[in-house]
Amino acid sequence: MSEAVKKFFTYKGLPLVRKGNQLYYGNMYDEFVVWIEIKHTKKVGELEVADKVKIRKMSTDLTKPNIDKQADTDSLYDALDIACAWLKVKA
């Protein structure tokens, strides 16, 4: 019997994994990934919407400093937009 292959949800071609209020964006085999942390949410209609989000660009190489860049945003959409830009630029 063959084992089922788990596929990650992707955003703009890169894996996006969520556990609680933390998301990891990017491929762990690449040089960097982005850690997105939802710090606060607000109620909009019947939905909980992130209104304070911290993002950190992190090295996947344990021999290098862990955090390369960080920023705060007011929405998850903005955080993903910045994360996508950070991972597309080779620095």
Residue 91 has pLDDT above 60, yes or no: no
Q: What is the pLDDT of residues 48-67, one digit of tens each?
A: 999 999 999 999 988 888 88
CA-CA-CA-CA torsion for 35, 41, 44, 46, nearest 10 degrees?
Answer: 90
Distance in angstroms (rounded) separating the CA atoms of residues 10 and 15: 4
When pLDDT is cut at 50, 70 and 90, the band that residue 89 belongs to is low
Q: Is the overall model pTM greater than 0.95, yes or no?
A: no
For residue 9, give the nearest of 80, 71, 64 by alpha carbon: 80
For the cut 60, the answer to whether the pLDDT of residue 2 exceeds it is no
What CA–CA distance (Å, rounded) separates 62 from 81? 26
User: Averaged over 57-78, what is the pLDDT?
Assistant: 91
